[in-house]
Every structure is written in structure tokens, then in C-alpha cells.
Amino acid sequence: SSLLLANAIDVSYYIRKNDLQKADESFQKAEKIYMQSNQPYLQATYLFTKGEYNEAIGNFKVALVCYDTILKGIKRKMRSINYLHIACIKADLLVKMGNKEDAVPVYEEISMIKDSIVAPSYAHRINSLRVSFRENRMKVDNESELNRLLIEVILSGVCILGIIVYLVLYISRQNEKTTKSRIRLAQSQRELENAIQTKSLFLSNMSHEIRTPLSAISGFSGLLTDKSLDEDTRRQCGEVIQQNSDLLLKLINDVIDLSNLNIGRMKFKLNYYDAVTICHNVIETVNKVKQTKAEVLFKTSLDYLQLYTDNSRLQQLLINLLINSTKFTPSGSIILELSKQSDTTALFSVTDTGCGIPLEQQSRIFNRFEKLNEGMQGTGLGLSICQLIIEHIGGKIWIDPEYASGCRFYFTHPINPAEPRKEQ
């Protein structure tokens, strides 16, 4: 059947291409297949192909017989689009043959069949369209309702998500505040513990440091009441009393300075001074009061260096460093040096050839009440005061960890601040 149908299609194709020779070849093949199979259900296909081929070669009568046979084979109750198609071909063939009178009843029959087939088809289509419209309308309504519900769900979800985000951020901020409060509380507690420890250490150190000069003053003052002492002994006792009085006064002044620096009440009278002159004056002062055989010298390549500073506080800082060196340098040298580190910064250094400070202890030397040698007199406040003074002025102080022949301190001092103030 498939071979017959294929050849029938070829016949129609070649007829439309006006290639009657190939159309004849395909028709002969189709006819041979039909004769060999002798299947009744292939008759309509064969007759239609035969009628189409004979119409193409001008054998209208044979073609008309083929079309009539097909139409008779289709029962009236089965008349459909196929019947109309063959009837139209037959009517056109009758017109082509000149039998218009015979073609008229065929056209009338075609018209009647169309009305009987097409009208119900239209009604069916209209009903189908109506049903389809209702279904689509219900679908649209359902989709609209679904979209509305979806929008409500999305909006509700967004609101809930917003509330969750707000709560998370709020809780996070509260936790952050709580953490910061705990950190501040822990820091305050540490500071309080340090303050209590510092206070205890301060009272312990001060009671010891004050007791020593007071005992000396009291003891030697008692000796002076002895009328049997000669003048030389009295003079020595007076010198000891004077030295211990000076020491006691320095201890008290150091404590007052440290307290004032901590609470910001220490006054700095800033002005322009020559740093070279200040260094010479400091060296002269230290040489007068030193209790060591070590030489105290000043070295610089500068003839003049103007600094915006507090003259008395800078001298206090330098004297503290130099006196501190004299305590640990019984012989050798103590050298104060001045140079320009840059166009805006002066660099001071104090270098001695004493016992030095062990590397593992150098990080603690600027702590308050820190005394590396408990046998030495002093409160352990001198270097702390030096650090506070130079930092207040705008410099910094440190110890040279690479110097191994004694001890060397450096500190920087700004030469000319951008906005100098007369008093702080």
C-alpha cells in the first residue's frame, strides 16, 4: 500500500510539473502494484490516480468513469470532504469536456453537501470556541486569583523577612554594645587593679625613699646638737643634711610633676630657645652635682639650633637622663649629643659607658616606679616623667637596643610646630 501511495504521489507531482513521460512511468508502476495486490481498500487510490493521469493526457471519458466509480463507492451517509473533493474534480472535468448541463446538477449536489457538512461544522466550531472561551476565562480568573495569592504570599514573606532582618540587626547591635560594655568594664577593672597596684607600689616606694633621707637628716641634725663636735665634722654633717634635703625635695617634685602631667595641669611655657645653649647649661649643672668620676660631655656639629620648646622642661628632661647615667657610670664618659634628624626634627642622645640595661628589661624602663637596681636611691619616676614631657612636646623617646657598651637614650623634638602656642 505504501508503494502504491508513493507512486500515486509521484504521478500527481509529475503532472503538475508537466512531465507526462515520468508521470506515465509512475502510473504504470502504480497499476502493476494494484493488479498484483488486488486489495479492495486500494481501489479508490488507484482509480483516483488513473483518473488524474487520463485527465492529464486528454482521455477525459476514462477519467470521468474513474471519478464516477469512486463517487458510487462512497455511500451517501458517508459523504464527507473526500466526496466533495472528487465531485468538484468531476464537475470541473465535465466543464472542461463541454458538458456544462451535466456539470450543473453536480455543482448543486456539492452545494447541498457543503451546507449539510459545513453548517454543523460551524456550529461545532462555535460551541468549541464558546467552551474554549469559558475555559480560558476560568483559567485567567484562576491565574488572577493565583497571582493575587502569590503577591500576598510574597508581600507577607518580604514583611516577615524584613522583621527578621531588623531583629537580627537589633540583636547584633545589642550584642555588640554588650560586648563593648564588657570590654570597657574589663578594661576599667584592669585599670582599677593597676591603679591599686600602682598606689600600693607608690606608697611602698615613697615610704622607703622618703624614710632614707629623713633618717639621714634626723640623725645628722641630732649630731649637730653635740657641742663636742669639731667644725670639720659639723661641716660634713651639714653637707649630708643638705644633700638629703635636696634628694627629698626632688622626690616630692617628681611626684608632683608626674601627677600634673597625668591630669594635664602641668604648664608648659613654650617659646623659641637655642638648643645648643640649653645643652651647655645642662652639662655645667650636672658637672657641679655629679657624684661620679665619669666625664660628662656635650658634642654637636651645630653652632645654633632654634627650638620652639619649654626651656625649663627640656632642661629637666636632659638633667634626668644625665643624672640617671651618673648613677650607673662610676667612670668612663657620659656624652650628650645634639643633631638635626631632619629639617623639622631635632635628635638628642645621651650615651654612657656604664653597666647598661639588659635587653630583656629595656621594655620596662619607662614604667612608673620601675627600678632596675633596688639599691639605688630614687622613686623610679625619672624616666616616666621624661617620656611624658617629650610626648607632650610632640617628640618620642627610646633606648638603643643595639648599643652594648653601656646605655644610650634617644629622643626627638620638633623644631618648629605649625601652630606654636605660648603656653599650654
| Burial state string for 56-71 with b = 16 or more CB within 10 A and e = fewer than 16 | beeebeebbebbebbb
Q: From the CB of residue 6, how many other CB atoms can be counted at a distance below 10 Å?
A: 13
Q: What is the pTM of this model?
A: 0.47
- pLDDT per residue over 178-230, tens digit each? 888 889 888 888 877 876 766 665 656 556 556 656 776 777 777 777 777 77
Q: From the CB of residue 36, how many other CB atoms can be counted at a distance below 10 Å?
A: 9
* Position 422 pLDDT exceeds 50: no
250-259, 279-288, 390-399: range with lowest mean pLDDT: 250-259
3-state secondary structure 153-198: HHHHHHHHHHHHHHHHHHHHHHHHHHHHHHHHHHHHHHHHHHHHHH
Cα 361–chain centre separation? 41
Provide the pLDDT confidence category of residue 346 given band limits of 50, 70 and 90. Answer: very high
Separation of alpha carbons 167 and 174, rounded Å: 10
* Position 376 pLDDT exceeds 60: no
Q: From the CB of residue 219, how many other CB atoms can be counted at a distance below 10 Å?
A: 13
- pLDDT per residue over 34-51, tens digit each? 888 777 777 788 888 888
- pLDDT per residue over 143-188, tens digit each? 888 888 889 889 888 899 899 998 888 898 888 888 888 898 888 8
Q: Is the dihedral of CA 322, 324, 329, 330 positive or negative?
A: positive
Cell of 33: 502494484
Going from the C-alpha of 138 to that of each of 127, 131, 133, 170, the distances in angstroms are 16, 10, 8, 47
Pairing of strands 271-274, 295-300: unpaired
74-78, 312-316, 327-331, 411-415: range with lowest mean pLDDT: 74-78
pLDDT for 129 equals 77
Provide the pLDDT confidence category of residue 274 given band limits of 50, 70 and 90. Answer: very high
CA angle 397, 401, 405 (to 5 degrees): 110
All domains in the chain, ordered by first residue? 2-98 (1.25.40), 178-259 (1.10.287.130), 267-414 (3.30.565.10)
CA angle 294, 298, 299 (to 5 degrees): 125
Query: Identity (one letter) of the amino acid at 108?
Result: E
pLDDT for 3 equals 82
* Position 355 pLDDT exceeds 90: no
pLDDT for 295 equals 93
Cell of 166: 531588623
Is the separation of the CB atoms in 286 and 317 below 8 Å? no
pLDDT for 2 equals 78
